[in-house]
Amino acid sequence: MFELHGTVTIITGAASGIGAATARRFAAAGSDLVLADHSSDGHDMDAVVADVRAAGRRVDVVEVDVRESSSVDALIATALANHGRVDTVIANAAIARIHPLVSMTEADWTETIDVDLTGVWRTFRAAVGPMREAGRGRLLATTSTVGVLESWVNHAHYSAAKAGIAGMVRTLATELGPDGITVNAIAPGIIETPQTLDPVNSLGAAGIAEVSARQAVRRIGRPEDIAAGYHFLASDDASFVTGQVLVIDGGRTQQHG
């Protein structure tokens, strides 16, 4: 297992799904954590915190709205005040709502772009200062195969946001490399998360079963599959990896090729 002892990791969208699985894996690898979500209350976050503490790691929980720069700035300030450092930031907060183009309002478009794309930019911008001072850092984001390698009907706003993350990562890798900061993203395929299980805005249980039968590995992804990728990218073993979008999709998009 890649060692993360002595590091501090911030994860947004940490209450469930990929964020929660990543928090648990990082705690097991020795990282202290600052977990952020739009609501800091609730059973899901409580369970994640309990597991992190059971692994013997320190953890803070911060309620964050990635649409507000002041909220994101406060998240980074909390990490610095309580831990004195920020080694890795995983910008994972996102929303996905079904909106055909003909009925999509400007508010619908703006909401998704603001959370899924600009929220990542706000998070990275807030974290880069302390990372530059330290001469080291890992900026990581969750994009998607949607918008990068494939389409998703009735989700043009989501696809645009996720494609934008890929472009941002490549540019920032070049910009921040001289400061010792690597910048990468993971593009998950279909992952079993609360969002994917939503039958209105995503696949639902029936859709997941159908898609699983058509996957190269005959299952959809688990949040733990993505957490493993983040674990590698945050480690010293990935110090020469930057500007990359790591696709973890069980061979889904390869079949399209």
Residues recognised as catalytic? 158
Residues near 247 by beta carbon (within 8 Å), at least 6 away in sequence: 145, 148, 149, 186, 187, 189, 253
User: Could you tell me which of 211, 212, 221 has the C-alpha nearest to residue 188?
Assistant: 221
DSSP assignment string, 170-207: HHHHHHHGGGTEEEEEEEE-SB-STTTT-TTTS-HHHH
Can you read off the two tokens belonging to residue 21? 């699985």
- Residues in a beta bridge with 37: 63
Cα–Cα distances in angstroms (integers) from residue 149 to residues 13, 189, 225, 237, 248, in the given order: 23, 10, 19, 27, 12
Distance between CA 63 and CA 92 in Å, rounded? 14
